[in-house]
Amino acid sequence: MEITWYGHSCFRLTERGMATVITDPFDHSAVGYFPLKLKGDIVTCSHTAPGHSYFTAVKGEPYVITGPGEFEIGGVFITGVQTNGVHKKASENEQIRNTLYLIQFEELNIVHLGDMDRVPTQSQVESLGDVHVLLIPVGGGTGLNAAKAAEIISLLEPRIVVPMHYGVPECKIDLDPLAKFLKAMGLKEVETQPSLKIANAKALPEETQVVVLDYKS
């Protein structure tokens, strides 16, 4: 399968003969980066915000998932798990809830944490099972900061970690740079790559590996 990052929390997950999944499509006028031009069969949304739920950026008629539940579409199994409140609405005292997603392509389990901002509960951890690829916010703001991200990684023990939701020159949101997360992980530099390709579960590294993706324009 192939995982491509488009900036912020937006990824495209593809596998031959299976549905294509788009996560957290954003409105570039609010977030920055480049305008999204995507096609997909499924769209997952962690919470309602311009940076995470701009569905018109995905062409066609995708199946949109906006909260917890279990779904099977085009051979892909998706489990949405509600977590913490992300932040309060400007005009109300109500917290906007975050949903993380376990996305299963046959034997590969990918977890997208959305805008999670705290360590998950034991029951949430157990509901995920073996995490092969973890897509995790690391830049603070309304999501995890570097220290909390590192703590969650040690808790979930994924095979591959892909950081997201951090500060880059094209991002309009004030977020910490990637270097802060790499330092928390005990790494100096990680060579970026255009996408993450995984042949099968047997090709996964035995020890946790951080993979930094270039965002696609």
**What pLDDT, in 10s, does the model give residues 94-145?**
566 899 999 999 999 999 999 998 888 888 888 889 999 999 999 998 889 9
The predicted-structure confidence for 162-215, as pLDDT tens digits, reads as follows: 999 999 999 999 999 999 999 999 998 889 999 999 998 899 999 999 999 999
CATH H-level superfamily of 2-210: Ribonuclease Z/Hydroxyacylglutathione hydrolase-like (3.60.15.10)
Q: Which has the closest alpha carbon to 5: 132, 141, 166?
A: 166
List Cβ neighbours of 169 (8 Å cut-off, separation of 6 or more).
none
pLDDT of residue 16: 94
The pTM score is: 0.94
Q: Are 70 and 45 in contact (CB under 8 A)?
A: no
